[in-house]
Amino acid sequence: MERRPKRPNRKAEQVEQYSRNNYNKPLTTNQGINIANDENTLKAGERGPSLLEDFMMREKLSHFDRERIPERVVHARGYGAYGTFRVYESQKALTKAHFLQDPSMETPVFLRFSEVAGSKGAAETVRDVRGFALKFYTEEGNFDLVGNNIPVFFIQDGVKFPDLIHAVKPEPNNEIPQASTAHDNFWDFIANNEESAHMMMWIMSDRTIPRSFRTMEGFGVHTFRLVNEAGKAHFVKFHWKPKAGLHSLVWDESQKLSGVDPDFHRRDLWNVIEAGGEAIWELGIQVIEEKDEFSFDFDILDSTKLWPEEEIPVRIIGEMRLNRNVENVFAETEQVALHPGNIVPGIDFTDDPLLQTRLFSYTDTQLYRVGTNHQDLPINRPICPFHNNQRDGAMRYIVDKGKVNYHKNSLWNNTPYEVDPNKGGFVTYPEKVKGVKIRKTAQSFLNHYSQARLFWNSMSSWERDHIANAFSFELGKVMSKSVRKQMINQIGRVSTELATVVANQIGVNPPTTTESKERRISPALSMANQPETVQWLKVGVLLTEGFDGPGTKRVVDRLKSEGVQVEYLSEKQAKVDGTNQISFIPDASFLTGSPLLYDSIYVAGGKNPDAYSVGQMEYFIREQFVHYKPIGVAKNVEPILMKLGIVGKEGVLVNQNEDFLQNYLTALGKQRFFART
Ligand code: HDE
């Protein structure tokens, strides 16, 4: 086969060719003229007026005036990083996709995470679905897997997407609320579009307030096809399983974090990568044989349904590691043009009506948002050569040589030539289609409540509490009494118990609808019981003058040796001295730091701390406690625990014996103690 040569890190090398380093260079105009004075416009006399002939000022300002491109109509707030993907073993039996054949081959990737509803500058920890959009730069061209952190979607047919998004976004008359679904229009849409029932359960779960991009699952959502060399196809769903486990914030924390650090998620990813770490996911696939297309009690082409993992197991087939930050967020993350229609030989679409519409929308939006030649930009270029007769257009970058720009031709021996399918030319899977032209939802798409109920059945008790609270918050913000009532009836079709709790909370009558009869559970849907890991968790160590030097150092050293990120906090950002000549320089003061920024705190305290410091230690401990986080304190800080009435509570540990360090690490690994409720 005419496979292209293997070259790892080709994307990094490619982007480097287009990169520029301005450090220690003379300041020039875009025409290369050295600039002698960048602080004053050219004026007639010292006190003006300014002169139009000032080409330096004109160039600088008119470029500035055009610095923005339209933000994405959805997923405007996003953050990306580069990495690599490697398959564990050849998937030859399922697909001929080149990047899924050879375990020794690393395929460069770029991943953009995003929040759907908010504008480009919205806070990151809001309750929202997260985008999980990946570009694989394969040797056979770009494959984009543009997914979300939730496996199902609100609607079944893409023609309803503008309605959904209009309803989600701030209301048009007053542009309120920003980056939040807690308003009338959104819940009016949900109440009146029954197909959203399953998704509504997911978005009210903790999945929509992730702790970190690194602790989210990713899903391709749609059913795709994998096609092997012999032309045999299988239906497939793609899953990304985070190595750091699946973890979320709690609602109170996520709301406060929106103020304390609106960049909480990007800061986390950036810092971990800058510190030499990696964000790691495994790629899993669920596979269904073509002959089994109709063997399930849901339609496999319906994007509001998942394939229960207990019924159709997820096979882990590879690993992705994000390990390189971008150099320039605009040039790379903002201009990246992701598109679920970018596929490579061995992968193909299905008739999922949501996917089919997306195939139109993404090219269209990139043409508007980035421009005709968006594919030429460094972030979007394939790493393999690409040749065709497409020419010109705004901002054409490639200089195509020669006089032939059409197919077929004889002057250039009919090149660029079509590639034989046996040598890598893309052939669409020859799916048989037949039917009358019709605008209608398939009968098999009409059961909207079984899987919504399956999700509810599969939740642990604390997850159920969080869902009930989330509904109560969101619907409590709905002004229209009619929409509130409609929503209670809608939730009532999933669970009478849930609807009744929420109804009680928001002051409307219990549901009059009947709940789904589905009684199955799918343990894979619950976030409880995650593998315990402490790597990259962030612990804040609170110190005041005269803290126990050796004891604190022992704790810090052990945490660091386990891969925990440690930061010191104190009253001021100046050196704090402990006993035995041990001192630390705080990373933050009580003023610039916040308990919300840490997965746990260790309060070392000090000798006779002043009232302000004691108050701050109390505040940090209380916030950590109500957010269910593990807390470690030195023996002399125990009185604060007593005052707060939390001595001996789960995950609250005092450094008073040999076992403390191990117990504290175990508590850190558990991350949250929801039993405290
Ligand atoms: Fe998108 N979506 N979408 N979407 N989507 C966009 O493309 C659209 C859908 C998703 O980081 C837009 O470049 C339609 C499902 C992500 O750059 C736009 C429909 C899923 C991103 C668009 C859907 C997604 C987008 C806006 C219904 C999960 C961000 C800017 C048929 C599988 C990608 C852009 C990035 C972005 C249209 C539904 C995920 C307008 C019409 C389902 C992660 O083209």
Looking from the CA of residue 162, the nearest atom of ligand 1 is 41
Q: Which of 74, 155, 350 has most ligand 1 atoms within 8 Å of its beta carbon, as the pocket-test mutant?
A: 74
Per-residue model confidence as pLDDT tens digits over 266-284: 999 999 999 999 999 999 9
Backbone angles phi, psi at 259, to 5 degrees: -90, -45
Backbone angles phi, psi at 589, to 5 degrees: -95, 175
Q: Tell me which residues have their CB closer than 6 angstroms to ligand 1.
A: 72-75, 78, 112, 114, 131, 133, 146-148, 153, 158, 161, 221, 303, 336, 338, 354, 357-358, 361-362, 365-366
Domains of the chain: 77-376 (2.40.180.10), 449-525 (1.20.1370.20), 538-676 (3.40.50.880)
Per-residue model confidence as pLDDT tens digits over 212-250: 999 999 999 999 999 999 999 999 999 999 999 999 999
- pTM > 0.95: yes
Do the Cβ atoms of 112 and 79 come closer than 8 Å?
yes
Nearest-CA residue for ligand 1 atom 8 is: 358
Q: From the CB of residue 28, how many other CB atoms can be counted at a distance below 10 Å?
A: 11
Q: What is the mean pLDDT of the chain?
A: 97
Nearest-CA residue for ligand 1 atom 39 is: 147
Q: How many whole angstroms from 285 Cα to the centroid of ligand 1?
A: 21
- Interval 633-655 mean pLDDT: 97
Backbone angles phi, psi at 267, to 5 degrees: -60, -40
Q: Which of 120, 362, 368, 374 has most ligand 1 atoms within 8 Å of its beta carbon, as the pocket-test mutant?
A: 362
Strand pairing report for 588-589 and 565-570: parallel
Per-residue model confidence as pLDDT tens digits over 13-69: 999 999 999 999 999 999 999 999 999 999 999 999 999 999 999 999 999 999 999
Q: Which of 71, 75, 156 has most ligand 1 atoms within 8 Å of its beta carbon, as the pocket-test mutant?
A: 75
CB-neighbour burial class of residue 389 (10 A; exposed 0-12, middle 13-18, buried 19+): exposed
Per-residue model confidence as pLDDT tens digits over 608-617: 999 999 999 9
Distance CA 368, CA 348 (A): 26
Looking from the CA of residue 158, the nearest atom of ligand 1 is 31
| Closest by Cα among 160, 107, 115, 117 to 133 | 115
Looking from the CA of residue 157, the nearest atom of ligand 1 is 31
Looking from the CA of residue 361, the nearest atom of ligand 1 is 44
- Interval 537-560 mean pLDDT: 98
Nearest-CA residue for ligand 1 atom 24 is: 147
Q: Is a pLDDT exceeding 60 seen at residue 661?
A: yes
Q: Is a pLDDT exceeding 60 seen at residue 7?
A: no
Helix axes 461-476, 496-506, angle to 10 degrees: 40
Do the Cβ atoms of 425 and 418 come closer than 8 Å?
yes
Confidence of residue 9 (pLDDT cuts 50, 70, 90): confident
Tokens 């959502």 -> residue: 221
The predicted structure's pLDDT at residue 564: 98
| % the chain with pLDDT above 70 | 99
Dihedral class, residue 515 (left if φ above 0, else alpha if ψ from -120 to 50, else beta): beta
The predicted structure's pLDDT at residue 676: 87
Confidence of residue 186 (pLDDT cuts 50, 70, 90): very high
Q: How many whole angstroms from 393 Cα to the centroid of ligand 1?
A: 25
Compare 429 and 1 and report the one with higher pLDDT.
Answer: 429
Per-residue model confidence as pLDDT tens digits over 439-472: 999 999 999 999 999 999 999 999 999 999 999 9
Confidence of residue 78 (pLDDT cuts 50, 70, 90): very high
Q: How many whole angstroms from 197 Cα to the centroid of ligand 1?
A: 20
Looking from the CA of residue 336, the nearest atom of ligand 1 is 17
**Contacts (Cβ under 8 Å, ≥6 apart) of 554:** 661
Q: How many whole angstroms from 354 Cα to the centroid of ligand 1?
A: 11
The predicted structure's pLDDT at residue 1: 42
Distance CA 64, CA 75 (A): 24
Per-residue model confidence as pLDDT tens digits over 476-503: 999 999 999 999 999 999 999 999 999 9
- Interval 574-578 mean pLDDT: 97
Helix ranges restricted to H, 98-213: 161-168, 184-192, 197-203
Per-residue model confidence as pLDDT tens digits over 289-346: 999 999 999 999 999 999 999 999 999 999 999 999 999 999 999 999 999 999 999 9
| % the chain with pLDDT above 90 | 98
Provide the greatest CA pair distance for the chain. 91
Using CA atoms, how far residue 283 sits from 97, 100, 241, 331, 355, in Å, is: 15, 11, 6, 28, 20
Confidence of residue 8 (pLDDT cuts 50, 70, 90): low
Using CA atoms, how far residue 288 sits from 94, 315, 427, in Å, is: 11, 12, 21
Per-residue model confidence as pLDDT tens digits over 583-614: 999 999 999 999 999 999 999 999 999 999 99
Active site amino acids: 75, 148
CB-neighbour burial class of residue 31 (10 A; exposed 0-12, middle 13-18, buried 19+): exposed
Q: How many whole angstroms from 91 Cα to the centroid of ligand 1?
A: 28
Taking CA 105 as the corner, what is the angle to CA 100 and CA 107, rounded to the nearest 5 degrees? 75
Strand partners, 237: 286
Distance CA 230, CA 584 (A): 65
